[in-house]
Amino acid sequence: MSHATSKSQGWGGLTSPFGTSHGKLFMWFFLISDALTFSGLLVALGFFRHKYADVWPVSTDVFTHFPFTHAHLPLLYVGWMTFDLILSSVTMVLAVEAGQRKDKKGVVLWLGLTIIGGAIFLLSQVWEWAIFIQGSEAGAIRTMLVDGKWTEQVIHGANLLYSEYSVTPHYANFFFCVTGFHGFHVLSGVVINIITFIMAYQGVFEKRGHYEFVEKVGLYWHFVDLVWVFVFTFFYLL
């Protein structure tokens, strides 16, 4: 078998055995491993929720705030965040589709809107964290160990040790861990989208003759959106 033949049939630095590029294949490997990490977090969440079912708070009683209003609107803002992220996934689909048509202006436009959607989600999550940490004016009485003595004190909001939402800190800990880990992924995605936007605007992909990089970034962004759907379902709704 000649060198050229073996190279065309094997991997050879060009096409993988699965008929796709190295970049796409390894992106899938990364996403699968990342999905296992998120799955582990959600499984742990379910375990602790079952173990502390009698004191586990209901999210509709915790996330009731909405910016610029004092109305009691359970999960409305979290629902808006979810809609915003799903909408950014739609704009990413359009960016990938424009790349397949080698439409530079379309890629720049839809990537720009995807970046805006991701940035809005991040700012919304920062606001949600701030409200969660701040808590209500009334707070809740919790028994705390102070100077070697157990005393009752009013706790406002939540941290890693105490929470006004539950006598156990696990609810707050999972909130910080799960949403924070996902938020880091969104932040990474926005940064990568900005880099891709700049590359598209400068005509890098036109010179390459293809927009495969946009497709790989799109895979990551869709994964981030899909994970949030599971987080929204298992943490907020159930």
Give the integer Cα–Cα distance in Å for 111 and 7: 36
Residue 8's pLDDT is 42
Find the CATH number of the domain harbouring 78: 1.20.120.80
- Which run of H or of E encompasses 103? none
Is residue 193 within 8 Å of 221, Cβ to Cβ?
Answer: yes
Is 156 inside a domain boundary?
yes
Is 100 inside a domain boundary?
yes
Counted domains in the chain: 1
Is residue 57 within 8 Å of 165, Cβ to Cβ?
Answer: yes
Cβ neighbours of residue 89 under 8 Å, at least 6 residues apart? 221, 222, 225
Residue 7's pLDDT is 42
Residue 24's pLDDT is 83
Give the integer Cα–Cα distance in Å for 160 and 152: 18
* Residue length of the chain: 238
Which two three-digit tokens encode residue 206?
């036109």
Is residue 224 within 8 Å of 189, Cβ to Cβ?
Answer: yes
Residue 13's pLDDT is 44
For the chain (length 238 residues), average pLDDT per consecutive 10?
43 54 85 96 96 94 92 94 97 97 97 98 97 93 80 90 92 96 97 98 94 95 97 94
What is Dmax (Cα atoms) for the chain? Answer: 81
Residue 150's pLDDT is 83
Give the integer Cα–Cα distance in Å for 237 and 101: 40
Is 154 inside a domain boundary?
yes
Q: Where are the beta strands (DSSP E) in the chain?
A: 140-146, 149-155
Residue 5's pLDDT is 43
Domain extent at residue 194? 27-237
